[in-house]
Amino acid sequence: MTELVVVLDTTIVTIALPQAQQELSLPDGQRQWVVTAYALAFGALLLLGGRIADYWGRKRTFMVGMLGFGLASTWGGLAQGGIELIVARGVQGAFAALLAPAALAMVTVMFPHGRERNIAFAIFGTVAGTGAAIGLVLGGVLTEFASWRWCLLVNIVFVVLGMVGGAILLSESKADGNNHYDIWGTITVTLGLGSLVYGFTLAEHGWGSADTVIFISLGVLFLALFVWIQARVREPLLPLRVITHPVRAGAFLIQAVVGSVMIGSMLYLTFHFQLVMGMSPLLSGVANVAMTVVIMACTPLVTRALNTYGPRPLMILGPLFSAAGLFYLTGITPTGSYFTEVLPALALLGIGLSMLFVPLQNLSLTGVQAEDAGVASATVNSTFHIGGSIGLAVFTVIHAKAVEGSTSAGVSQANAFTDGFSAAFLASGIAMIAASLLAILMIRGKKDDLMPQWDYDEETSTAKSEMH
């Protein structure tokens, strides 16, 4: 349920954005930040959240993250201005950064090896994959029959259930030893990611504009400084051993591309439904269900394929199916039918994404030592949401430029919007092709080498991951 809530909140407000924008007088230039503030804060602080979970205690971190997430959700649901809503969403993302790695780390330790572990990660990955689409549906229901505010206030129910369940069912675990927090690493990675994403959002004014170049350059500089610090401090925020293994590095990069599509690109399909096709919020949310149904239907088959063939074939083919769906979406028209122009694409996307979600969580933790479980789990989630933040910024620029060009050519507003959405889908499809190439180049090795093998010590109740 934790992963569902965290991922769901990435998209649940998407359906409500037109209503919220109107009520709070939110300018078009700030609209995307309702989504970006959450994803950016979440992704940028996940590494620190993972270390806090490892050092302070995973159950304790989980409970504090749940409480803070509920309070921030309440604040956002009661917000009286656009900036207040954006800030509340950022705080919500910060507490989600405590919540998510603690939950995944506990799953990692509770299921140290074997078939049960594969099933646990298949379920975890499927929930993560379907949570975005479920958020769209739930957001449509709440916006249609209540108010956009309930897209945030509904989290109170999940938080209460999560805290009661956590208090009763979870046991404490944490890394041994005298641990210290990497403050400078935290500062540099947060500034680096924040500057990078903000720089991409400014590219709407031109990739060569001074502000764009300055902020993107600052982002790269801070991230380079972060890597330099990680290589030298005694207890780094992100031990470089977690990301330098080529298979894990490939998984992290592919996860970032998936995040850019799920968060950045699919937002425009929702806009197409409402702004061009004239769907209500509810119908717009329901229109996305096809992809979720396909993902859930394919998951058992993909899980068996993972055990039989290993993750590499799935990681190569999954992005290709997804790219085919996205390229199909480039053919949308203002007067086209959902069943002919959209539904086949969602089916292809569902097949492709199911082939990625099932192995990704498992593959990203291949060879990770138990003491790094929290930070590795954080890296898995961080790459998804940072990829989504960057993707949303880049696709927004691509969309805006396409709309501007079509409008200058004298086409109607509906056609101009559709041209913009098609351009965003085309860029997303190209990104997925790149993800397949990454899998070919980096997800290499025999099946048994790519599947994590965990030795479990019954006496100490600790798990240790080893590569063959």
Tens digit of pLDDT for each residue in 353-403? 999 988 887 787 777 776 676 677 678 778 888 888 888 888 988 988 899
Written as one letter, the residue type at 221 is L
- Model confidence at 231, pLDDT cuts 50, 70, 90, reads very high
Q: How far apart are CA 23 and CA 2, in angstroms?
A: 30
Confidence of residue 465 (pLDDT cuts 50, 70, 90): very low
Please, what is the Cα angle at 39 between 38 and 40, to 5 degrees? 95
Provide the residue type at 175 as one letter: A
CATH architecture of 2-172+237-445: Up-down Bundle (1.20)
**Span 298-320, pLDDT tens digits:** 988 988 888 888 889 999 999 99
Calpha distance 155→173 (Å, rounded): 26
Q: How high does pLDDT run on average in the chain?
A: 83
Domain residue extents for the chain: 2-172+237-445, 182-236
State residue 285's pLDDT score.
84
Average pLDDT over residues 419-436: 95
| Beta-carbon count within 10 A of 334 CB | 16
The neighbour count for residue 462, using CB atoms within 10 Å, is 16
Residue, of 377 and 210, whose pLDDT is higher? 210
Report pLDDT for 457.
Answer: 41
The band of 112, judged by pLDDT with boundaries at 50, 70 and 90, is: low
pLDDT tens, position by position, 145-188: 888 899 899 999 989 988 898 888 777 877 666 677 888 998 99
